[in-house]
Structure 1
Amino acid sequence: MTVKEITPVVLCGGAGTRLWPLSRKGFPKQFIPVYRGKSLLELTFERLSSFGGILALSGEEHRFFVEEAAEKSEVNLTQILEPVARDTAPAMALAACHARQENPESILLFCPADHFIPDNDLFREMVLEAADYAKDGNIVTFGVHPASPSTAYGYIETGDEVGPGVRKSKKFLEKPDLETAMAFLSSGKHLWNAGIFLVRADVLADAIARFEPQTFDACSEAIASAQRDGHFLRPGGRFKDSVAKSIDYAVMERAENVLVAPFQGVWSDVGSWNAMSDLGTKLPNGNCVLGVEENVRMISSENTVVHGTDRRLIVTLGTKDLVVIDTPDALLVSSLAEVEAIKNVVGDLVAQNHGQALEHRRVARPWGDYDSIDHSDRYQVKRITVKPGAQLSLQRHHHRAEHWIVVKGSALVTCDDKKFLLGENQSTYIPVGAVHRMENPGKIPLELIEVQSGSYLGEDDIERIDDVYGRIPE
């Protein structure tokens, strides 16, 4: 079997709250450059590029981030946009129903978007070695031999061997306590669950139809009524009737044809700051630096992890077993022993309506991004960056006026019936209610300072009239 006979499917969901404040719901860890200037999603696309066309499951909120990562990785991508988040079983059901329309026996390789697997060649060889088992009608998952009694991963208990290193799956197990994890490690029968699956489209569809008929019916009808929009496929409204459930609970724990192949090489789900530190620059005395390294100084420190930014200098003096994660609008300081509890803290922050729990100060958009520099009751200042050739929607605001000052590049501005070009150090005024648009006609990023003033400055005070990114509600 060749790689071209296998279709990779990348699952792009997940909020990454265990890596707060760097990862947040609005811009989760799979999109953040964390390794040599690349995001985990870019690395995933590069790892799968030799297989040919890639299918991705994502949502409306993140679809342009996924598309941008695909462009950087130079892969051919089709995105299925889930109308609502429903966990991995419904997402994988959509992919299986879509794929079997063209070839029921096509082999699908399901991969999370946010795992770190550095050896692309070894990964490809591992998948090809397991492909015949999938072709014969088995559901193949990959188990990682545990290097420690980790309580951060789910486990798979393996049974009888059916081929070189390949065993039957006996039981899928939740994240254990330390005592149980130590027992798993010593047993030799328990592997970390890597969340990677290799299966024929018809086999997976039949399994979901058998064990989760409501989900199968909803996903099958949603794909049958899906609307295509360029590289995007929008399933029909029946998808909302699917049951939110992981694929482990829905199928893997119940099916009799699940096999476990050994994962080969280095693997991490980058699911915590302890795991993220493995991707950083190692320093003496067990220290590690992430992010902007030149802004971090560590003096007489031991086992300290620091994430730096370009905003300020961070100095640790005499620290030990500490995590310091700096971002422009939130700072996390935690002991290494307690940092795994950050997910619960984020839940509390959401309940208390802290905006930093979900959104960054810097907000990514399909045309570029904006950074909220300063704000008060009646004004807000943003630094806006527009990609070359990109444009914002044609829009109006009912409660605020705006001043734009170009500091880099050039801007093509539409304001009511006028259209004009602004260069560096030039500015313009957009009155309340004016129909306006900003475009970057140049070859370099456009940067400008926007000063908003008015009685209401919320992001929902935008009436879009025309938008190349399809963001106008029907």
Structure 2
Amino acid sequence: MNKITPVIMAGGSGTRLWPLSRGNYPKQFLSLSGVQTMLQDTVSRLNGLKTDSVMLICNEEHRFIAAEQIRQIGAKHSGIFLEPVGRNTAPAIALAAFKAIEQGHDPLLLVLAADHVIDDVNAFQQSVSKAAELAAQNKLVTFGIVGNKPETGYGYIKRGQQFQTGFVVDSFVEKPDLATAKDYIASGDYYWNSGMFLFKASRYLTELKTFRPDIYAACDAAMKVQNNDFDFIRVDKTAFEACPDESIDYAVMEHTNDAVVVPMDAGWSDVGGFAALWEVSAKDENGNVFSGDVKAVNTKNTLVFCEDKLVATVGVEDLVIVNTKDAVLVAHKDNSQHVKEIVNQLKLEDRTEVTFHREVYRPWGKYDSIDNGERFQVKRITVKPGAKLSVQMHHHRAEHWIVVSGTAKVTNGDNDILLTENQSTYIPVGVIHALENPGKVDLELIEVQSGSYLGEDDIVRFEDRYGRVEGK
């Protein structure tokens, strides 16, 4: 049987779980229901299946976060595709299929989303094994979730006659109203559409070329010009931008005569909002889900996430309370899906809270914007052992660095110096400088910026080991 290559799609806009998720840190990179992040859980639940290294698809802004989270769990990957622009699932999967065949084999592609919760890993793997038998026979398999309630937030798959360990797909159905959803669940002939698939790479491309030759041609052209940068695979931007935006359901699965659905009953959720997050999380005796420093009196069925402050609740029920370092959300659980409307308001006002957390992750570590004013900004910077920021200079700001812990190797103009705890240095405007952690533990320092312009785009890079074009 063909080897399975997992293809994990890790895109996302970070709107449905705002302010926990942001544009540059969507939910797949968050730890919501355990120790690991959702991306890490997605990779880890493959353990025990006979698979090749995972292939990851994400965008440019998320590349270092994705690579670091894969590294943290000791997993191997066969490349991280960076989409120049978002073009939905049909083109993204096509890139992976072209790459798999380019590497000299024709594996079964197990297409997974990075932001799903699956409680029963064994049931998940059993469904994958059944699907693999069908995919090896040139079937295009989708996984249908055995629904336990009428759900209006999901599309549905209607099954037809049985085919070996699965069922022929009769039709794909759009999100229904509540009455229709109740009928679907009662009939037993409908499954929730999970957005997970398994098929041969070549078979997918053949069907894509048949039904959407425009998508096939655009992805084929994009793959002809590849730029490999460390772990990252970039394709031709102009060609990919010309690709239509289309889901695999619309482009292929609704048209092919070889679509088969394999049922999956594995405690699945796409965590489409805070109400869904509350449902899949472990609760206390009062139905509450608490994360962080929470004190509660007479509180029921409430979800509280807090990062850095004590949150206290008294006499409340069915609420969602999320406290991050720069934003607080309070919503009724039944209306929490409308958080997107808040995000849209923030977008109209060009608020940075839509895209960035106060704490921002970089390939060398992270920084937390502690304070700022008209002509100053204070950051707490953490540099990982062995990591180095780019050799750079600023036109509009000076910087003062004070080491809190660890050891800093600093280039300040023509001088190279070592700084340890409580030592500092001053970087004048226009002076070329660099910061490196030569030690074995994290380097923590306070950076005070002062000047007429403090934006992240006031950086002129002369050398950078991470191949970055913009951003710090």
Equivalent residue for 1:352?
349
Letter in 2 for 1:26: N
- 1:107-154 deviation line (CA, Å, top 9, x unaligned): 111110111123334322321121121111111000111111112222
Shift of 1:209: 1.2
Task: Tell me the residue number matched to 1:427.
Answer: 424
**Contact in 1 for aligned 2:229/2:467 (Cα 8 Å):** no
Q: Hey, what's the Cα distance between the residues in 2 that align with 1:374 and 1:105?
A: 53
Judge conservation of contact 1:16–1:271 (CA < 8 Å) in 2. Answer: no
* Mapping for residues 3-402 of structure 1, pairs under 5 Å: 5-50=3-48, 51-77=51-77, 78-103=79-104, 105-164=106-165, 166-237=166-237, 238-290=239-291, 292=292, 295-309=293-307, 311-402=308-399
SS state at 2:117 partner: coil
Give the match's secondary structure for 2:382.
strand
When residues 126 and 103 of structure 1 are mapped into structure 2, their CA distance, relative to the original with a 3 A threshold, is farther
- Give the direction of change, closer, same or farther, for the CA distance of 1:262–1:324 in structure 2 (3 Å limit): same
Of residues 463, 466, 471, the one that matches 1:466 is 463
Gaps of 5+ in 2: none
Code of the residue aligned with 2:425 in structure 1: it is T
What per-residue deviation string (whole Å, max 9, x for no partner) do you get for residues 326-348 of structure 1? 11111110011110111232122
Q: CA deviation at 1:189?
A: 1.3
Distance 1:104 1:216 in 2: 19
TM superposition shift of 1:454: 0.3
Question: Is the Cα contact below 8 Å between 2:275 and 2:334 reproduced in 1?
Answer: no
CA contact (8 A) 2:140 2:198 kept: yes
* Cα deviation digits, residues 22-68 of structure 1 (max 9, x gap): 01111111111223321000111112244231111112111111111
Q: Following TM superposition, by how much is the alpha carbon of 1:10 offset from its aligned partner in structure 2, in angstroms?
A: 0.6
Distance 1:318 1:470 in 2: 52
Residues 184 and 345 of structure 1, relative CA distance in 2, 3 Å threshold: farther
Q: SS at 2:191's partner residue? A: strand
Q: Are the aligned partners of 1:80 and 1:234 in contact in 2 as well (CA < 8 Å)?
A: yes
Aligned residues, how many?
A: 466
> Distance between the aligned counterparts of 1:278 and 1:409, measured in 2?
42
Task: Indicate conservation of the 8 Å contact 1:324/1:333, yes or no.
Answer: yes
Q: Which amino acid aligns with 1:48?
A: L
Partner amino acid for 2:454? L
Gaps of 5+ in 1: none
CA contact (8 A) 1:10 1:57 kept: yes
- What is the TM-score of this pair, normalised by structure 1? 0.95
Instruction: Provide the rounded CA distance (Å) in 2 between the counterparts of 1:118 and 1:74.
Output: 22
Deviation at 1:281, TM superposition (A): 4.1
Matches of 1:121 and 1:280 in 2, distance apart?
Answer: 19
Q: Give the superposed CA RMSD.
A: 1.5
What is the CA-CA distance between 1:432 and the residue it aligns to? 0.4
1:303 partner letter:
N
- Structure 2 contact 386–440 (Cα < 8 Å) conserved: yes
The residue type equivalent to 1:36 in the other structure is: G
Which of 381, 385, 410 does residue 407 from structure 2 map onto? 410
Q: Secondary structure at the match of 1:320?
A: coil
Farther-moved stretch of structure 1 (41-50 vs 367-376): 41-50
Identity of aligned residues (%): 46
Indicate the larger mover: 203-212 or 119-128. 119-128
How high is the TM-score relative to the length of structure 2?
A: 0.95
Q: Displaced runs of 4+ in structure 1, greater than 6 A?
A: none
Deviation sequence 1:245-294 (CA, Å, 0-9, x none) = 1111211122221110011422111221112124544112221113x1xx
- 2:168 partner amino acid: K
Partner Cα separation in structure 2 for residue 104 and residue 410 of structure 1 = 47
Change (3 A) 1:24 1:144: same
Greater Cα offset, 44-53 or 198-207: 44-53
SS at 2:337 equivalent: helix
